[in-house]
């Protein structure tokens, strides 16, 4: 365990329970970034001549990690850019289904365009609410976060499989930002048609990098408008009319996408099974202890499966108290959000619980 923590110096300073806000920079990614910019400093265009292979490697590693053909992986700077570009490629008006109070960059991007929108509530009966909304309005697309950013409620992926069978024509567009990197996930076998993910959180890749995975049929259903010289550059985009190039119109940044490749290599080295079992163990214990202390909302307590993000009852004073103990968390929604990644330990959870009790919650 200590070995897994060693590569993240920030863990020596803080009890860091805040991956849902920002992942960590590992030494491996930092070293790549140092070398990249030193080489750029000394080589300029001579250095850049060889950089296309970084983008290819990143795309291929993403395809391997998430079970998606390489030519259906687009590299974008963040979730919001990718999602807005995607929405411009959808004909309007269309019937959209969203989750009420889902992440703002997701809901606002749909609400600011000419779609007919309905909403399903995020609560204990999330899946039932979604099924009812489908029955009522048969949306053309359903856009949602796999894991909710405020309280960590995770949609049942098996339920999505069944729903997709019933409504094969509805596009399922998922935000994987609070999900990808926490457990094994095979995109091609999933019900999701398009998955977009910012990678600075659970993938620990730093900022300025994100990706989109597409099912092959999306090429017939979406007509993205963005285009530029970059649309036709690189191993998987050289041919005219290629689809992913429409999401990559300009010169791509090899520092940021290269960082993502390094972060993916680290995940591969540790193993996603190991990562997910560590997260699950922490999440199970945290949920049970927080429940005993009456710190969670009922809708979370009553769900069978949950992520490792929790929103515990607490005000500014508790937040400041935790901060004074070097426990790093976020204020979100009505309470305090804590989140556990594989590099966190039971000892850290116990320390949090002890400090919560000391504070008097």
Ligand X SMILES: Cc1ncc(COP(=O)(O)O)c(C=O)c1O
Interface residues toward ligand X, by CB under 6 A? 78-80, 103, 105, 145, 149, 175, 177-178, 198
- What is the CB neighbour count within 10 angstroms for residue 288? 10
Least distance to ligand X, CB of residue 100, Å: 14
CB closer to ligand X, 51 vs 178: 178
Query: Which of 19, 170 has the CB closer to ligand X?
Result: 19
| Three-state DSSP class for residue 299 | helix
Is the Cα torsion angle 84, 87, 93, 99 positive or negative in sign? negative
In the bound state with ligand X, the residue whose beta carbon lies nearer, of 80 and 283, is 80
Question: What's the closest the beta carbon of residue 173 comes to ligand X, in angstroms?
Answer: 12
Instruction: Give, to the nearest 10 degrees, the angle between helix 346-359 and helix 316-324.
Output: 130
Q: Name the minimum Å distance from CB 311 to ligand X.
A: 13
Query: In the bound complex, what is the minimum distance in angstroms from residue 149's beta carbon to ligand X?
Result: 3
Backbone angles phi, psi at 97, to 5 degrees: -115, 130
- Minimum Å gap between C-beta 151 and ligand X is 12
Smaller CB distance to ligand X: residue 94 or 105? Answer: 105
Nearer to ligand X, 80 or 151 (CB): 80
Helices 27-43, 254-270: inter-axial angle, 10-degree rounding: 150
Residue 99 phi, psi (nearest 5): -100, 135
Closest approach of ligand X to the CB of residue 78, in Å: 4
List the one residue out of 338, 334, 302, 342 whose CA is nearest residue 124: 302
Phi, psi of 198, deg, nearest 5: -80, 140
Q: What is the closest distance, in whole angstroms, from the C-beta atom of residue 197 to ligand X in the complex?
A: 8
Cα gap 322→352, rounded to integer Å: 8
> Omega of the bond prior to 60 within 30 degrees of 0, cis?
no
Separation in Å, CA 55 to CA 62, 200, 208, 335: 11, 17, 14, 40
Q: Which is nearer to ligand X, 26 or 78 (CB)?
A: 78
Rank residues 103 and 290 by Cβ distance to ligand X and give the closer one.
103
């Amino acid at each position: 365990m200590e070995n897994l923590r060693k590569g993240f110096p920030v863990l020596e300073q803080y009890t860091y329970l805040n991956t849902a806000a920002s992942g960590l920079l590992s030494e491996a990614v930092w070293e790549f970034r140092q070398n990249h910019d030193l080489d750029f400093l000394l080589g300029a265009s001579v250095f850049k001549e060889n950089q296309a292979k970084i983008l290819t490697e990143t795309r291929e590693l993403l395809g391997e990690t998430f079970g998606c053909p390489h030519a259906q992986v687009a590299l974008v700077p963040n979730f919001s850019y990718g999602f807005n570009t995607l929405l411009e490629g959808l004909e309007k008006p269309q019937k959209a289904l969203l989750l009420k109070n889902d992440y703002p960059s997701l809901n606002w991007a749909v609400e600011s365009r000419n779609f007919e929108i309905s909403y399903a509530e995020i609560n204990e009966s999330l899946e039932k609410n979604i099924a009812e909304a489908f029955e009522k309005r048969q949306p053309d697309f359903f856009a949602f976060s796999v894991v909710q950013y405020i309280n960590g409620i995770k949609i049942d992926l098996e339920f999505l499989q069944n729903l997709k069978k019933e409504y094969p024509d509805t596009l399922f567009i998922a935000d994987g930002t609070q999900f990808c990197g926490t457990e094994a996930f095979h995109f091609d076998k999933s019900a999701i048609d398009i998955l977009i993910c910012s990678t600075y959180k659970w993938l620990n890749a730093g900022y300025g990098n994100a990706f989109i995975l597409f099912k092959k049929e999306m090429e017939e259903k979406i007509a993205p408008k963005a285009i530029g010289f970059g649309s036709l550059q690189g191993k998987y985009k050289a041919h005219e009319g290629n689809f992913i190039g429409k999401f990559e119109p300009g010169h791509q940044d090899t520092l940021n996408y290269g960082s993502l490749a390094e972060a993916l290599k680290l995940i591969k080295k540790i193993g996603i099974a190991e990562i997910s079992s560590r997260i699950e163990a922490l999440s199970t214990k945290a949920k049970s202890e927080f429940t005993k202390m009456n710190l969670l909302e009922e809708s979370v307590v009553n769900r069978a499966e949950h992520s490792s993000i929790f929103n515990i009852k607490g005000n500014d004073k508790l937040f400041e108290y935790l901060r004074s103990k070097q426990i790093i968390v976020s204020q979100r929604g009505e309470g305090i959000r804590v989140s556990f990644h594989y590099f966190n330990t039971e000892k850290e959870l116990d320390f949090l619980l002890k400090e919560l009790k000391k504070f008097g919650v």
